[in-house]
Structure 1
Amino acid sequence: MKQYKVETLIYYSKLTFDKYHIAKSSNKEIQEKLDAYAKDGWRLTSTDASNFGAAMYIYLYFEK
């Protein structure tokens, strides 16, 4: 039977002229999460993102 897990990452916007600052600053942390889950046998199956106010929520969906 498959197991499923969701990891939620939250990033806050800051005042800057670089509209990609969240993507640039989050890459390292997201890659670390992917590596950690892969070591435990989890596989990334889907992703999603939403925003609320000044925060961006990134959802990583895994299955094993």
Structure 2
Amino acid sequence: MNFFKQGQPGIGILIELYRQRLQSEQLFAAVILSSLFGLSVFWGFGFLARWVVGGWHESARPGGS
């Protein structure tokens, strides 16, 4: 049973491919896209944590130390 389907290459594979082929414009675009995706995931999980957990500790509450 094959869990992984063969499809389009991911962003990491594209970054390596562009690096090997010295395609700097595509490489920078892929790195920036990957960075933006990482930031959005980081912020998304931060928001999710604040929404789920809330202000259970005094340091998380407004005006807390």
TM exceeding 0.5: no
TM-score, normalisation: structure 2: 0.34
TM-score, normalisation: structure 1: 0.35
Greater Cα radius of gyration, structure 1 or 2 = 2
- The structure with the greater share of residues assigned to strand is 1
- The structure with the greater share of residues assigned to helix is 2
